[in-house]
Structure 1
Amino acid sequence: MALRFWLAGVAVLLLGEPGRALPSGIKGSPALEPPVGKVTSMSVSEGRVILVCDVNGFYPGKIEATWRKGGEIVEEGTFQRSVTRNLDGTYHASLDVEMDPTESRLYRCHIKHVGLPEPLVLAWEGPSGNQPQ
């Protein structure tokens, strides 16, 4: 797909990938893109880790992400960063939760998006399936 517009008297040609959204402000029919994600971890102090749920490549930008422990939504210790736009017109979001590493197997990141037929549920698996230390 190619789109041509004039910028300061010069013709500019934008080449877009099929199925990708156009940059903001350019008219077109953006495609629905479901999110993909992964969970990573990092140690923050003795006996505490942060699980990070990174979700990428989705369009439109409206998304719901929650951490759940044993099926219950966790709000305490949870930090959600703002949804940001990628260069290809899709979006990225990140959700962190600080917790005791011995409980990491109980946590799941739940993602709801219009591009998914059902919620995406992600868990920390670590290298070779190990839980964070």
Structure 2
Amino acid sequence: MQTTLKALLIGVVLLLGGAGAAWVTDVCYEDASAVVYVFKSFTIPGPDACKLINGYLANTNCLLHGNACGTADNLHILFQGAGCTFTFNGTTSRSTNSGSITLCGPGCIGAHSFSKIPCPVSRPLID
């Protein structure tokens, strides 16, 4: 009886203590200019679902915020957001983890490549 109770308590502690949080990691994308977008504690949204984006551009003090949504057909992820002095929007394919991004502010830079990459070790810089 005590062994069963201990096992049950350990299971509850692991569940409540964040064992599921291991699924949430940083996700990074790189654009054609080698700029790395770090989305902190981000999970790719499922079909017809959205997730908040909070993060930064690697090796800068530029913070990012926005949204990412999975398309209903489960084929693409749509991104939109802002950081420092620009806005961004783009699309990536679920099958290739790559697509295109458009940056605006004050003018717009046409769509260019945007691909998921392993996250580098970086932190926002402090002035």
Same fold (TM over 0.5): no
Quickly name the TM-score band, shorter chain normalised.
Answer: under 0.3
TM-score by length of 1: 0.25
Greater percentage in helix:
2
Structure possessing the higher relative contact order (Cα contacts under 8 Å, 6 or more residues apart): 1
TM-score by length of 2: 0.25
